[in-house]
Amino acid sequence: MQLTAPANGTTSTPTRRDADGMAVASFILGLVGLLVLNVFLGPIAIALAGAALWRGTKRRGRAFLGLTLGVADLVVLAVAMEMSNTVSWSL
């Protein structure tokens, strides 16, 4: 554990912490999106997961789960719309 700042004056801890938070948020939004508002929450989960992976999160598994759930949100929406022959769906 490093207690002092690096010599070049930059630290990666806040960026990594933000990326870890994005990974968790993408997982939660993707999971909730399977039930409600999947047209909005799916793309947000995909974007957050991509940003978390790009920033180098330590929670790569959670980011990949958020990415998968975001895509699943859109697939569920497409299947439900196809089954009901409408632009939206309801239970």
User: Does 3 map to a domain?
Assistant: no
Quote the CA–CA distance of 51 and 57 in Å, as a whole number. 9
In whole angstroms, how far apart are CA 6 and each of 11, 49, 91?
7, 28, 55
Domain span holding position 45: 16-84
User: Does 8 map to a domain?
Assistant: no
**Tens digits of per-residue pLDDT, 59-83?**
899 999 999 999 999 999 899 888 8
- List the structure tokens of 82: 């196809």
User: Does 35 map to a domain?
Assistant: yes
**Tens digits of per-residue pLDDT, 10-21?**
555 666 778 889
User: Does 10 map to a domain?
Assistant: no
Count of structural domains, the chain: 1
**Tens digits of per-residue pLDDT, 46-59?**
999 999 999 988 98
Quote the CA–CA distance of 36 and 88 in Å, as a whole number. 12
Output the pTM of the full model.
0.77
User: Does 65 map to a domain?
Assistant: yes
Query: In which region does residue 42 sit, left (phi positive, over 0), alpha (psi from -120 to 50) or beta (all else)?
Result: alpha
